[in-house]
Amino acid sequence: MSIPTLKSPVEQELEKLKELCGYREDIVRKLEKCCLRLYEVGEIVGIHPLMILDIAYILLKQNPEIEIKVEHYVGSGKKRVRTDVYAEIGNKTAIYEIETFNSCFAFIEIGKTPDGRRIFYELLPQEVIEIRLGSKAARYSRYADKFSFVIPSSKKMEILKSKAIKFLQTPLEKRKKKDCRELLRLINLVYRNPPVSFDELMGAKLDGLIFLDLKTLAYEAIGEPFL
């Protein structure tokens, strides 16, 4: 008796998306390429890689001509970062960063006592959200024409009340330096090598938010996240 081969969650998601698109060859080919890249970088655990495939599928369904790169590097030196989904069509580009907030840091080292013991600060859940959103926008958004977050729809209320989101949705000319410094103080508790600069955060952009239902793939787009 042959033993059936168990497929990974990523492979199962790929099969689901293939079926949803009616096995359309051009879309399937690009989704398979995305899946291979996830395996190359070892990004196959949890809901994060599933959401990467999901947003790639949504983009391709809107326009099969779009080119999708996942886990794609942009920038150089210490400013080099790896994007979740990098999309191109014609001369336009977009970055989509997935944030699940399911496995974020809770403690950070902030110093040492005179006798050498380490001092830790426990981050509040909302502080984790502010840090993740603010730092990602500051470090990533300059590398594409559009920058957006993709977030599980179950997190919508938490995200919309975020100070980082309110700051990023404020037009550049109306942003307050005080708000920037406040958010930057939190971000640089974690991002120290290199730290995020005032100018990077003050000039960061956020074109859209996509709240995604992980079961049905229904989504709500706020702003203008799509190319």
pLDDT tens digits, 132-150: 999 999 999 999 999 999 9
Q: Which two tokens stand for residue 140?
A: 């990533």
Give dist(CA 177, CA 180) in Å, integer: 5
In a domain, 8, yes or no: no
Provide CB contacts within 8 A for 216, sequence distance 6+.
none
In a domain, 202, yes or no: yes
Nearest residue to 67 via CA among 20, 23, 34: 34
In a domain, 106, yes or no: yes
In a domain, 207, yes or no: yes
- pLDDT of amino acid 135: 95
In a domain, 179, yes or no: yes
Number of domains in the chain: 1
Report the Cα–Cα distance between both ends of the chain, in Å, rounded: 50
Mean pLDDT score of the chain: 91
In a domain, 136, yes or no: yes
- The secondary structure of 6-42 as a DSSP string is PPPHHHHHHHHHHHHTTT-HHHHHHHHHHHHHHHHTT
In a domain, 209, yes or no: yes
State pTM to two decimals.
Answer: 0.91
Q: Which domain holds residue 168?
A: 69-223
Nearest residue to 217 via CA among 59, 39, 28, 36: 59
In a domain, 60, yes or no: no
Over the stretch 169-215, which tens digit does the pLDDT of each residue have? 999 999 999 999 999 999 998 888 889 999 999 999 999 999 999 99
